[in-house]
Amino acid sequence: MQSEAISHPKIMVVDDNKIARLALQSEFSVVSGAVISLYAGAVEAISAAEKEPPDVITLRADGNGFNGFDVCQKLKTNHATRNVPVVFITEDNGWDAQKRAFAAGAVEYVVTPFPRGKLAEKIERLLGKEKKLSTAAPQKILIAEDSDTIRNLITSILKSNGHTVLEAKDGLAAWDIVQTHSDVDLILSDINMPNMDGHQLCRNVRGLEGYAFVPFIVMSTIADKESIAQLLNSGADDYLIKPFGKDEFLARLKAHFRVRNLYNEVNATNARLHTFNVSLEKMVGYRTKELNEANMEAVMMLAVASEFRDTDTGNHVRRIAEYTKSIALAVNYSGKKAEAISMASILHDIGKIAITDQILRKPGKLTDEEFGTMKTHTTVGEGILSRTSYFKMAREVARSHHERFDGAGYPDGLREYNIPLAARITAVADVFDALTSKRAYKPAWGLREAYDFIIAQSGKHFDPMVVEAFQKIYEDGFIAAMLAKYK
C-alpha cells in the first residue's frame, strides 16, 4: 500500500485526549515506516512543526485545551508549516463545522467514530499524493541574479536535481525571458539588480497573462527586510535570506512546486469539468426540448378535445395560438414569453368539456339559465388546470379570457390591468376568431367587419395596448395568412 507514498512519513497527532492520542497512534501503526509524534497541546505541536515540518498533521477540531480551527489557521499562516496537510478529527458532522475546517485550510474532515483502518487508509492515500506531487516532472526555473557566483551556484544545485534553468543577469533580461517563455514554473529573483530591480520585475510578472500563480521567490540579505515586505505585498510568494543552505533552499522549492502542481491539477480538473458541463448542458438542452415538445403535444391534444364538437376541429386553437404569439411579440414581449402566452391561450376553452351539446351547439340564443351554465366553463377550466403548476398561466387565461377591460365581463368582473395580460391578449384573439368562424348559432363575419369590431371595442371590451398590437399584425397581413393556413 505504501510503495507509492513517502518512505518514512512523519505523522503528527495533536489531541488533548490521551486515549484518543493512543488510539490514533494504534491506527497509524499500520502505515508502513511511519514516524508518529503525539502532542496534547497546540503550542508545543506548532513549535515542533516549525522546527521539523511533518508530512501530515491530524488535529482535534473540538479539543478542550485549544481551538482546532484557530490552530489550523496558525499552521497555514506560518511560513514553515503552511504546506503541511491538516486532517481534522471531530465528533461534529455538521456542515457548518466542515465549512469552517476547510476554510481554515484542512484537506480532510473525519468524523468519529470511524471503522479501524479508515483513517490510516486516508493518510496513506494523502501521503501517496504528496509523494506524487513532490516527485513531479523536472521544473523550469528562471533565476534573475546579477552575481555570477551566486547564480552559478544556484544553477548547479538545480540542475543536479534534474531541473531546467533559465539564467538572467538582471531584471530586464529576466523580463525578456518571461515574455518569450510561457512555461516557466518558478522564478527566483534578487532584489537589487541593474536595469530592472526585483520590485519592477515582480510587478511586471504579475501583470502578465498566465503568470498570476507562478511562484515568485525573492533572494536578498537580511538588511533588505523592508524591501522584502514590500515585495510580498506586491505579489512575491516567499523569500530566502542570503546566505542560505542547500537543504533549506530545496525544501522551499519543493513546497512551492507542490502548490504549483496542485494549481495545475485544479486547472486540469476545471477544464475537464468545463467540458463535462458543456456536454451536460447540451444533453439537458436536448432533453428539455423533447419534454417541451411532448408537453406542447399534450396541450394541443387537450385543446383539440375541448374544441372537438366545433365544426373546425383543432383549427380554432391553432389560430388562437398564432394570433396570441404574434400579438405578444408586437407588444415587445420576448420570444420565450410570447411562446408561453401562446401555449396558455390554447387551453382557454378547456372548461367547455363540461358543457353539454344541448347548450354548446344550440342554434338559437341561449336562455339566461343556459348562458349561466355556459359561463361556468371559465371556472371549470381553471379547476381542470389547477392540478399542476405547469399550467399556471393557462389557468389564468381559462378563468379570465371573458373579462372585459371596462369591468363588465365574467366570472370576476375584473377591469383594466387587474386582468392578467395573457387573458387580455387571448380575449382579442378569441373574439376575432369567433366572429370570423361559422358557428351553429351564426354565420362567419367578414375579415374587415370583424377587424372593425375589435378596433371599436378598444378601451371597452379590450385593452387598447393589445388592440394596437392586433392592428399592427392585421395590417402586416399576418391575420389573413393564418386564416388561409388554418381554414
pLDDT value at position 242? 80
pLDDT in tens, 209-266: 888 889 999 888 766 677 777 888 878 888 888 877 777 788 888 888 877 777 777 7
2 pLDDT band, cuts 50/70/90, is very low
Asked if pLDDT for residue 337 goes beyond 60, the answer is yes
How many other CB atoms are there within 10 angstroms of residue 285's CB atom? 10
CB 55 within 8 A of CB 127: yes
Containing H/E element for 38?
A: strand 35-39
% residues pLDDT > 70 (the chain):
90
Rounded Cα distance between 344 and 427, Å, is 12
CATH 3.40.50.2300 intervals, the chain: 10-133, 140-265
Matching residue, cell 551556484 = 153
Asked if pLDDT for residue 298 goes beyond 50, the answer is yes
Helix (H, G, I), strand (E, B) or coil at 53: coil
Asked if pLDDT for residue 295 goes beyond 90, the answer is no
Q: Can you tell me the mean pLDDT for 6-17?
A: 84
Nearest to 88 by CA among 114, 115, 62: 62
CB 378 within 8 A of CB 410: yes
464 pLDDT band, cuts 50/70/90, is very high
CB-neighbour burial class of residue 245 (10 A; exposed 0-12, middle 13-18, buried 19+): exposed
Q: What is the CATH number of domain 307-485?
A: 1.10.3210.10
Helix (H, G, I), strand (E, B) or coil at 328: helix
Three cell numbers written together for 263: 494549481
CATH 1.10.3210.10 intervals, the chain: 307-485
Q: Per the CATH hierarchy, to which homologous superfamily does domain 10-133 belong? A: Response regulator (3.40.50.2300)
CA distances from 43 to 40, 274, 336 (A): 9, 43, 62
pLDDT in tens, 454-463: 999 999 999 9
Helices 246-306 and 315-330, axial angle in degrees (round to 10): 130
Task: Please give the CATH architecture assigned to the domain spanning 140-265.
Answer: 3-Layer(aba) Sandwich (3.40)
pTM: 0.44
Nearest to 238 by CA among 220, 263, 223: 220
Asked if pLDDT for residue 25 goes beyond 60, the answer is yes
Q: Measure the N-to-C terminal CA separation of the chain; round to a whole number of Å.
A: 78
